[in-house]
Amino acid sequence: MSLDEARSAIGARFSGAEVGTGTPLVVTVSPGQWAELAAFAKETLGCRFFSFLTAVDWKEPGLEVVAKVDNLDDGLAVMMKTRLGPGVSTCASLTPIYRGADWMERECWDMFGIRFDGHPDLRRILLDDTWEGHPLLKSYAVDTPHPPYR
Amino acid sequence: MLDQSTVARVELDWAGPERLTMNMGPQHPSAHGVFRAIVTLEGETVVAVDAVIGYLHRCHEKLAETLTYAQYPSIASKTDYVAAMTSEFAYVMAAEEIGKVEVPKRAQYLRVICAELQRVASHLLWLGTWCMDMGGALGGGATIFLYCIREREDILDLFESLVGARLLYGFYQVGGVRYDIPDGWVAQCRATIDRIDQRIGEYEQMLEQNPFFLARAKGVGVVSRELAQDVGIAGPLLRGSGIPWDLRRTAPYSSYEDFDFRIPVETDGDCFARYRVRMVEFREAITIVRQALDKLPAGPISSRPALKSVAQIRIQKGESYARVEGPRGEVGCYLIADGSAKPYRMKWRGASFSNLSILPHIIPGHKVADVVAIMGSVDPVFGEVDR
């Protein structure tokens, strides 16, 4: 599927989606459409390769979840985004759709404290289970002391 | 004389689905780093794996927010310390893409030469350690390992005379590279790659005529095309599962379109397929280095004036995702710049992280001894897994 075909297919299916023009194709949808967009990307756009999932803390506007998937046959790359909104830290999980999202969402929970609804095993992955706080939030200062590493 | 009545009797004959939970790691020689696999066994057969990672976590992504575009490349090399050139490459490419920074042709070629030499060095370390993991079956185990380390040292010598460091370089800089090649380096480089090119064939013979090696590698740890994409494994793992995807060909960067090389693809998806892909990649990497040395253009090595302060490089507002084909696959850097001298957010897509997450999907059903072979064939570097 070409870039233009993908743009029009997304525009026709997801009303209110912001669709970019460049490569990778950036698509922003509401959190309610998040899992639906991922399923659409996989089944209809043929983006079966799961590249990565992460989040960005935009401070007052809140968190944004970002995931990138590729169609390796056509070289189509789609970067999906959703803004969770101020103070919101829950999001639908993509793990039932892409198995590669499993560890990435665990990392995202670890680093940003985002709860992914529908994730089968959401626990910390890089930090210790007893760690307090989520380091990649902008409110988490770089030099935050944490026992036993004071 | 031992009084038999006081000796505790242990029932040894195992009959039934009783399960044993066993730790492999965090300090296990086959992990090549710190990795703990909690394996659940039925007899010798693994039925479940829980991978515990994070022992080398340094929160590179937070660190990158505190360091400038001039400072971070040399820190980036500490993510994947076996292929340090690769992560520097991805980071500076991401910054250059947002800042629309031109890179002179000579710098692009020097980047390619170093990235490909790094691929050879990294694959050598993989081959040596993997064969040692599989142990006594391979002529005492350490034979191939020592040969590979010997070859790798020669490449590290090349890096040392170029950069001054053997493992962690800081060679790539926004706008170009830091150093030009010194006198005599090209001849030294040609001699080194010619020697390695010739010896790779010897290792192939040693291994592929060894029935023990074949028995341990063939049909073990099979990854299907569908699973490979769904989990997002990349590099030799993806190509070993029959998908001809190499960023140097499918999304060329840094003048890779100027060179002729093959993309090896195997369809079996097992440890042996991944091994074959990497053995061909040795040759192809050497071919690319030869071509780049032949065609190395004259000119500047950086488009950027000399720095008087580390905060001198400012990148305009924007975001980019730059990816390079590292020895372990797609190493990506998702960068968001806010116009200052430091990124607002930086995300590493570590190839090893995604590749390692395949383990819980493919190990169950194999014997404990196969866990070691499969883990080695994935070639994880824990600095990049944990970042």
**Model pLDDT for residues B255-299, shown as the tens digit of each residue:** 899 999 999 999 999 999 999 999 999 999 999 999 999 999 998
> Do A49 and B334 make contact, defined as CB atoms within 8 angstroms?
no
Domain of A19 in residue numbering reads as: 3-117
Across the A:B interface, residue pairs with CB atoms under 8 Å apart total: 74
Q: Say which CATH number the domain at B172 has.
A: 1.10.645.10
Distance from CA of B358 to the nearest CA of A (A): 8
Quick check: is A124 in a domain? no
Quick check: is B370 in a domain? no
Domain of B324 in residue numbering reads as: 60-350
Quick check: is A137 in a domain? no
Instruction: Say if residues B22 and B8 touch (Cβ distance below 8 Å).
Output: no
d(CA B54, CA B356): 12
Instruction: Say if residues A79 and A47 touch (Cβ distance below 8 Å).
Output: no
- pLDDT(B2) > 70: no
Of the candidates B178, B230, B167, which has an alpha carbon nearest to the alpha carbon of residue B381? B167
Decide if the complex's ipTM is over 0.85: yes
Residue found by looking up tokens 């490979």 in the block: B228
Structurally, chain A folds into a number of domains equal to: 1
State whether residue B347 sits within 8 Å of chain A by CB: yes
State pLDDT tens for residues B297-315. Answer: 998 988 887 778 877 888 8
Write a three-state SS string for chain A. CCHHHHHHHHHHHCCCCEECCCCCEEEEECHHHHHHHHHHHHHCCCCCEEEEEEEEECCCCCEEEEEEEEECCCCEEEEEEEEEECCCCEEECCCCCCCCHHHHHHHHHHHHCCEEECCCCCCCCCCCCCCCCCCCCCCCCCCCCCCCCC
Quick check: is B371 in a domain? no
Quick check: is B37 in a domain? no
Q: Which amino acid is at B103?
A: V
Of the candidates B322, B324, B327, which has an alpha carbon nearest to the alpha carbon of residue B347? B322
Distance from CA of B123 to the nearest CA of A (A): 23
pTM here is 0.88
Which of B62, B230, B349 faces A99 most closely, judged by CB atoms? Answer: B230
Quick check: is A57 in a domain? yes
DSSP secondary-structure letter at B367? B
Q: Say which CATH number the domain at A18 has.
A: 3.30.460.80
Residues from chain B that touch A66, judged by Cβ atoms under 8 A, are 334, 347
> What is the per-residue pLDDT for B138?
57
Structurally, chain B folds into a number of domains equal to: 1
Quick check: is B204 in a domain? yes
> What is the per-residue pLDDT for A35?
92
Quick check: is B8 in a domain? no
